Amino acid sequence: MLLLSAIVSAPWHGIAAVAVLLGLLGLSGITYSFIVARRLRTQTEYKPVLEDWLFNAVMPFIAYSTLTVSAAAASSYAHEAFFGIGAASLLLLFIGIHNAWDAVAYHLFSKKH
């Protein structure tokens, strides 16, 4: 999230370098989403519920896919692409807030062993 903001906020001379960096960031996020989904599926600590799948695998995949598509379209449709980048950024922010709250609630209310 901070890296995405830094890339977009930097004083670039053109959009090509920004598009490449955002595309790489998006592809990295897609790859990481698949890694998280595989780990979520194979872990044995508990059975993941729909909310776990949505906020840890599905929604990040959607956000990073939106970022990747927006980066690919940036050279031809810069105005529209920045809306897609903003939407992806906002979705990642909401996911991060939810997951941080979820982690705090888990540690606060779970039994101590």
9-31, pLDDT tens digit by residue?
888 898 899 999 999 999 999 99
H helices, E strands: number in the chain? 5, 0
**How far apart, in whole angstroms, are the C-alpha atoms of residue 113 and residue 14?**
55
Asked if residues 110 and 19 have their Cβ atoms less than 8 Å apart, the reply is no
Q: Against a cut of 0.85, is the pTM above it?
A: yes
Tokens linked to 44: 């044995």
